[in-house]
Amino acid sequence: NFYRSAVALKNTQTLEILGDRHPTDEITNVTPAILAKVPVRLHTQTGHPISTLRSIIESYYPGFSHISSFSPLVTPFKNFDELSFPKDHPGRSVTDSYYINKNLMLRTHTSAHEVEVFSKGEDKWLLTADVYRRDEIDSSHYPVFHQMEGARLFSADASGMKEVEEDNERLLRHLESSNIIIEDVPHISSSNPVQPTHDPVYSELVAKNLKLSLNGLLLRLFGGSGSEEPLRVRWIEAYFPFTSPSFEVEIFFRGKWLEILGCGVILQSTLDTANVQGRIGWAFGLGLERIAMILYSIPDIRLFWSTDERFLSQFKAGEISTFKSYSKYPSCFKDISYWHPEGSTLHDNDFCDLVRDVVGDIVEDVKLFDSFVHPKTNRSSSTYRINYRSMDRSLSNKEVNELQGLVEARLIEKFRVEIR
Ligand code: FA5
Ligand code: MG
C-alpha cells in the first residue's frame, strides 16, 4: 500500500533502481515517492507537453545532436567536482540532493553530463533529462523536473570567430524585426569576468552568440502567441561554478518575472577535463516545466505527472495548445505543530519530503507558518500549514484527517519529534 511504504529506506540493505541493485548507507535519503518517478521519463512520452517542448527546441537548433539516454544515477564527483563545485557548496548537502549512498546520487542538473558528452567529441548538442532536487512544495516546485542542456563549441581562432560573427549577424537580423523587448547586461564585467585563459574579444563574441541564440529561441517559443503584447526578456548576471561569464534569463508572465534558464561561457577547465583542446563555447540549462507552464497555461507543476485523461487528452504531439483547467476541487488546510528533537532541528526539506512521500501528489503546498524557541527550555517548535487538494477528485474530510494522522505518525517515527 502506497501510504504505508517505508520512508526509512536507510534501513533497507539495497535498492533496486532501473534494474540494478545499489547498497544504501547512513546518508541514503531517496524516498519511494521519488524512486517511483525515475522510470517515467516524461520527455520521451510522445504527445506529453514536456516531450513536445523538447522537440520544438530541438528543431530550433538544426545540426545539434540529441541525447537522452544517460542514467539519472551519477556520482557526486560527476554532478559536482568535475564541474568545479567547491567542496562546501550547499547543493552537495543531504538536505538539498537525493543520495542513494555516499558514492551515488540522483543528478541535480543536466550539466552533470557535460564532460562525458564533450569527451565523445560532440561540439553541438542538446541533452534532455529528468533531474532531482529536495526543495519546497508549491505550484512551481516539484522534486523531479526536466532540464535541457545545450552546448556549442567553436575553434578558438580566427576561423572560429568568423563563424560566430556570421551566426551573430544572422540572429540579429532575425531579432530586429520582431516584437520582443530585451533587457540586457554587459557580456563581460568586473563582477561577471572573462576567464584568465580566454581572449576577451573571443569570450565577448561567444557570450553574444549565446544570448542571441537564446533570444531567438524565446521568440520562437513565445513570440507567435498572436497577442499584441511584446515578449519581455530580462538578462541577469549570475554565478555558476562551471561558466564565466554567467547569466540567468527571466521572462515576464502574468505580472511576474519567472526564471527559466541559466547559462554562460564554459569554463576552460571543464573542456580540459574532457580532453577538448583549442575550443571555446557556451552552455545553457533550460527548466522545461517552467517554460511549458507558461506556453500551455498549466497552473500547477504536479499536473505534468497526471495520468488523468482530462489532462492527457488535451495535448497533441508537436502542438502547443492552451490547457483548460478542469474544475478546481476544494482545498483543505491542516496545521501541524511539533517540538524539534532536543539538540537537532529538522530541515524544511526533510519535512516537505516526508509529506510528499506519505500523501503523494495530494499536497498542493506546504508553508512554514510559525516557528519559535521556548524561552525557558530552549527547544524549538515549528508549525506548518499543509494544503491538501487533489487535482482530479474531491477529498473527504475523513480522508484528509487520516493522511494528516499518517504524516504525524511518520514524523514521530522518523525524526522523534513531539507533536504539540
Ligand atoms: C542549473 O541547473 C545549471 N546547471 C544551468 C546551467 C547550465 C548554467 C549550463 C550554466 C551552463 P539552475 O539551478 O538555475 O541552474 O536551474 C536551471 C533552471 O531549472 C531554472 O532556471 C528553472 O527554470 C529550473 N528549475 C530549477 N529548480 C526547479 C524546480 N525545483 N522545479 C522546476 N524547475 C526548476
Ligand atoms: Mg537558478
Residues 347 and 299 in one domain: no
Residues 226 and 293 in one domain: yes
pLDDT at 198: 98
In a domain, 92, yes or no: no
Residue 386 domain boundaries: 328-419
Residues 220 and 133 in one domain: yes
Query: Of the residues 109, 253, 269, which should be mutated to test ligand 1's pocket, given the most ligand atoms within 8 Å of the CB?
Result: 109
In a domain, 305, yes or no: yes
pLDDT tens digit string along 93-124? 999 999 999 999 999 999 999 999 999 999 99
Q: Which three cell numbers stand for residue 352?
A: 516537505
In a domain, 152, yes or no: yes
Ligand 1 lined by 133 (C-beta under 6 Å): yes
Residues 189 and 249 in one domain: yes
Give buried/exposed letters for 365-382 (b at 16+ CB in 10 A, else e): bbeeeeeeeeeeeeebbb
Residues 410 and 284 in one domain: no
Residue where a domain terminates, one of 283, 312, 341: 312
Provide the number of structural domains found in the chain: 2
pLDDT at 327: 77
pLDDT at 228: 67
Residues 302 and 351 in one domain: no
pLDDT at 328: 83
CATH of the domain at 415: 3.30.70.380
Distance 420 CA to ligand 1 centre (A): 37
The span from the CA of 30 to the CA of 9, in Å, is: 7
Residues 305 and 159 in one domain: yes
Residues 251 and 130 in one domain: yes
Residues 168 and 241 in one domain: yes
Q: Which helix (H) or strand (E) holds 251?
A: strand 243-253
Ligand 1 lined by 207 (C-beta under 6 Å): no
Strand partners, 99: 105
Residues 214 and 265 in one domain: yes
Residue where a domain terminates, one of 284, 312, 340: 312
**Residue 244: nearest ligand to its CA?**
1
Residues 6+ apart with CB under 8 A from 72: 38, 106, 107, 129, 130, 131, 132
Q: Which of the 8 DSSP states describes residue 47?
A: T
In a domain, 45, yes or no: yes
In a domain, 278, yes or no: yes
Hey, which bits of 175-224 come out as E strands?
180-183
249 in Cβ contact with 261 (< 8 Å): yes
Residue type (1 letter), 62? P
Distance 248 CA to ligand 1 centre (A): 9
In a domain, 249, yes or no: yes
In a domain, 247, yes or no: yes
Distance 261 CA to ligand 2 centre (A): 7
In a domain, 317, yes or no: no
pLDDT at 224: 64
pLDDT at 227: 60
pLDDT at 256: 86
Closest C-alpha to ligand 1, atom 33: 287
The span from the CA of 167 to the CA of 3, in Å, is: 54
pLDDT at 230: 85
Residue where a domain terminates, one of 281, 312, 343: 312
Distance 296 CA to ligand 1 centre (A): 20
**Residue 284: nearest ligand to its CA?**
1
Residues 257 and 332 in one domain: no
State the Rg of the chain over Cα: 23
Sites in the chain below the pLDDT cut of 50: 1-8
pLDDT at 158: 98
For 147, 164, 202, 364, the CA distances from 332, given in Å and listed in that order, are 32, 55, 56, 10
**Comparing C-alpha atoms, which of 106, 117, 140, 109 is closest to residue 270?**
117
Quote ipTM for the complex.
Answer: 0.99
Residues 192 and 229 in one domain: yes
CATH of the domain at 67: 3.30.930.10
For 33, 46, 97, 301, 370, the CA distances from 316, given in Å and listed in that order, are 28, 8, 34, 19, 44
